[in-house]
Amino acid sequence: MFGAPATKPDVYLRAKVHEGSGSARSFELWREGERRLKRVDGDGLELRVEDEGRPGSPAYVFTVVDRRAGTLRRLPAERAGRLGPTFTWWTQAHLLSLPGPRYTLQRVPGPGARWGGARCEWYLFTPDGQPGTRVCWSREFAVPLRIEEQRGAEWWTRLSVESIGPIPPEKRDWGLDAAGLRELALPEPDED
């Protein structure tokens, strides 16, 4: 249901991830088609994913930058995948975790909503044996504009997009300022 290609594949958004404690972390996301993306969190972490493969044969490389620690680490996709299911192109590009093997997904009847300047439709995602999650999905940009988790009888906001649109010209710089960063070597595969 969330797999349809976006009508606007180049996206820039600003959003917040809300913690259970009531605090929130801001981040920005740039996504250029299925070629590359950049996510910069307000706490000094930066994730870049770039397709370095041939056309039709993607080979994603993840670059993790920790500005506070002054470090940079590059990981091919197969090594990044060992860090968990959030380290995939799809999860990072669409801000939505892939479901487990058993779940239900249904469209919530009624009108859609608008968040961050775009329109979205509500879906209820229920993993087998777990509380439900409401996702307001933008087909235009292929990202959720809002994610809410069920907590008892209440719904708690997990993700909220503040603004979304095409990448503005002043935000098109994909260069990585590596000044002051030291690149960390990859551990051996059996140490991952």
Which residues, other chains included, contact 70 with Cβ-Cβ below 8 Å and sequence gap of 6+? 180, 181, 182
- Could you give the C-alpha distances from 49 to 33, 35, 60, 102, 156, in angstroms and in order? 12, 8, 6, 29, 30
Residue 33 CA to residue 13 CA, distance in Å, equals 14
- Which pLDDT tens digits describe the chain residue by residue (192 residues)? 676 566 778 999 999 999 877 789 999 999 998 889 999 998 889 999 999 888 878 888 889 999 999 999 888 776 665 555 566 888 888 898 776 678 888 999 988 899 999 999 999 988 877 788 999 999 999 999 999 998 888 999 999 999 999 999 999 888 898 899 999 887 665 554
